[in-house]
Amino acid sequence: MLKGKTAVITGGTRGIGFAVAKKYLDNGANVAVAGSRPETVEKALAALAEYGERVMGISPDLCSPEEVAASFASVKARFGSLDILINNAGVSSRTPLYDYTLEEFSRIIDINLKAVFVCSQAAARLMREQGGGSIINASSMVSEYGQPSGCGYPATKFAVDGLTKSLSRELAKDGIRVNAVAPGVTKTDMVAALPKEMVDRISAGIPLGRPGEPEEVADAYVYLGSDMASYVTGTVLRVDGAAMN
Ligand code: NAD
């Protein structure tokens, strides 16, 4: 579904991002895994060694326009184009408002929102030159409902939906589609480490009766990045088992 396309996946070193990297490679794409540290990128590349020359690693500061532009240029130089940007890197927080520091609030805004802006701008510049592309952002089910603590996290995800919808309108003329994937509770390391009773309690509130697998979320990224979604832009695709419906 993605043969000949080149994708950058931020936070592609583990969790949902790593599952997306694997699915993209399985579907014929070239992939640049972007991680926060060279060591984690190296580890991810070792785990993807079977894909050989179709995968590379980068580790720019995602909030630095200069570093991101240089990294994305290196991806284009290596593979010939940059067709898909997946803004997946993110951090969450459950801190109550009364204890939330300005530093923590700024950090979550930086990674979950400012980095999406910086990376989207750098990628869009390259995509416009080459006649189009696709940007896919990591939203969350909390972008619709909020959450009872850790207000910074849902605030960033509401903003990501806003950026997605606005940029889809602004960039359509350049052939660039912009969408988001909104996962529900997904079995990354964090969820896998929870006690069984807690997972059972969470599952009871999900009509499909279980958390999602990272691979199930990754399939949505494959669809939105592929030509099968050529008329889909400005959408936030929920992959959450109808949680909170
Ligand atoms: P994870 O913690 O397993 O992975 C997050 C990734 O982001 C890691 O690769 C990490 O290195 C990267 N990252 C964090 N800070 C970074 C920084 N400063 N610079 C570069 N990379 C950085 O998380 P996940 O569960 O796989 O989540 C991926 C995305 O999906 C996030 O945006 C998250 O908000 C969203 N999401 C996850 C769930 C879930 O249940 N797992 C649900 C809804 C939305």
Whether residue 218 lies inside any domain: the answer is: yes
Distance (angstroms) between ligand 1 centre and the Cα of 243 equals 20
Domains contained in the chain, number: 1
How would you list the strands of the sheet with 236-239, edge to edge?
A: 55-58, 30-34, 6-10, 84-87, 133-138, 176-183, 236-239
Average pLDDT for 65-82:
98
Query: In this structure, what CATH number is given to the domain that contains residue 54?
Result: 3.40.50.720
Identify the band that residue 245 occupies on the pLDDT scale cut at 50, 70 and 90.
low
Q: What are 22-65's pLDDT values in tens digits?
A: 999 999 999 999 999 999 999 999 999 999 999 999 999 999 99
CA distances from 123 to 9, 63, 71, 82, 202 (A): 12, 14, 10, 7, 37
Q: Pocket of ligand 1, candidates 68, 92, 104, 106: which has the most ligand atoms within 8 Å of its Cβ, to mutate? A: 92
Whether residue 198 lies inside any domain: the answer is: yes
Task: State the residue for tokens 């059972």.
Answer: 200
217 close to ligand 1 (CB < 6 Angstrom): no
- Residue whose CA lies nearest to ligand 1 atom number 8: 11
pLDDT score of 158 more than 90: yes
Q: What pLDDT does residue 54 have?
A: 98
Whether residue 37 lies inside any domain: the answer is: yes
Tell me if 160 sits within 8 A of 154, measured CB to CB: no
Average pLDDT for 64-77:
98
Burial classification of residue 85, based on how many CB atoms lie within 10 Å of its CB (0-12 exposed, 13-18 middle, 19 or more buried): buried
Tell me if 78 sits within 8 A of 56, measured CB to CB: yes
pTM beyond cutoff 0.95: yes
Q: Which residues pair with 134 in a beta bridge?
A: 84, 177
Whether residue 216 lies inside any domain: the answer is: yes
Q: Which phi and psi angles does 111 have, rounded to 5°?
A: -75, -45
* C-alpha to C-alpha distance for 123 and 133, rounded to whole angstroms: 9
For residue 38 the two structure tokens come to 């060279």
Whether residue 30 lies inside any domain: the answer is: yes
Provide the domain limits for residue 142. 6-234
Tell me if 136 sits within 8 A of 86, measured CB to CB: yes
Given 153, 221, 223, 231, which residue is catalytic? 153
For residue 210, give the DSSP letter.
Answer: S
Helix (H, G, I), strand (E, B) or coil at 57: strand
Is 153 a known active-site residue?
Answer: yes
Q: What are 191-223's pLDDT values in tens digits?
A: 877 778 888 888 899 999 999 999 999 999 999
* C-alpha to C-alpha distance for 134 and 85, rounded to whole angstroms: 6
Distance (angstroms) between ligand 1 centre and the Cα of 170 equals 26
Q: What pLDDT does residue 195 have?
A: 79
Whether residue 241 lies inside any domain: the answer is: no
Could you tell me where the beta strands, DSSP code E, fall in 66-224?
84-87, 133-138, 176-183
